[in-house]
Structure 1
């Protein structure tokens, strides 16, 4: 009579462990999918910015006898950035850094373009340039928000795979830590703008 009780207790313990394991696994999958979704949002916002650049360059070219080097730098930075893709399953620090560096070069080129437009009041007065500038500013804000949301999702995911008992299931099923965006070197210093 004692054997059935012992087997019953062992069976209940195994059943509880399996149910807990399934819940942990499903939670990890949900966190992983959330990170991938947030990464897609980041890419979408960078793509939006990339799509605006040709219109901005065309408007600037048409409205001013502009410094060709600046326009070329914007176009080249956009081309390089559009070649770098990161698979959501490969969100390593190195891949994120490459992606961030390419997008940072686009941002720097656009910043130089916007600073140089200050020398062309007739350009700033055109409605198309004004609309594009507003759209670009809004896109930059969306990029910042998307990056923050992505980092929050990565934080939640990484917390899940490191917390007990989920960490046991994470190791068992191969869930690995993911990287988020970090501030670029020198980002703590305000940029100097000289005319």
Structure 2
């Protein structure tokens, strides 16, 4: 009779352990999804900001058409990759970051544009968004490691 109680006790303990472990795994999975959602929100914010500097820059940089088109095309590719794998998304976002960096380097050749309040505000918003993306990525990486 004692053996039956011991077996029942062991089974109950195993069931409780299973439920606790499963709940922890579900919780970690949900935290990971939330961390990626925060990255996604910041990436979408960057996508939404890109047309603004491109439009602002167009008037000043008419002959820098290739740089402007590169930034716009990279944005479109990054938006299209939103449903893709994390690796594909990272590649597209990296290309977008590179296109934005090239655009900002070209802007250095246009002092009137650099002094424009609207461009300075947009540049600050992009810098803030890039910082937020970095923080969100760090949180995501901390979750999966």
TM range (shorter): over 0.9
SS of 1:65's equivalent in the other structure is coil
Structure 2 gaps of 5+ residues are none
Matches within 5 A, 1:127-142: 127-142=117-132
Quick check: 110-119 or 65-74, which moved more? 65-74
CA distance in 1, matches of 2:63, 2:3: 85
Note if 1:50 corresponds to 2:47. yes
> What residue number does 2:90 align with?
100
CA distance in 2, matches of 1:121, 1:137: 19
Structure in which a larger fraction of residues adopt helix: 2
SS of 1:119's equivalent in the other structure is coil
Structure 1 gaps of 5+ residues are 88-94, 156-195
Q: How far did 1:61 drift?
A: 1.0
CA contact (8 A) 1:60 1:66 kept: no
Q: How far did 1:154 drift?
A: 1.2
Q: TM-score scaled by structure 1?
A: 0.72
Q: Which of 102, 110, 115 pairs up with 1:125?
A: 115
> What residue number does 1:110 align with?
100
Aligned pair count reads 145
CA contact (8 A) 1:85 1:99 kept: yes
CA distance in 1, matches of 2:121, 2:30: 36
CA distance in 2, matches of 1:69, 1:18: 63
- Would you identify which runs of 4 or more consecutive aligned residues in structure 1 move more than 2 Å? 62-66
Note if 1:82 corresponds to 2:79. yes
Q: TM-score scaled by structure 2?
A: 0.96
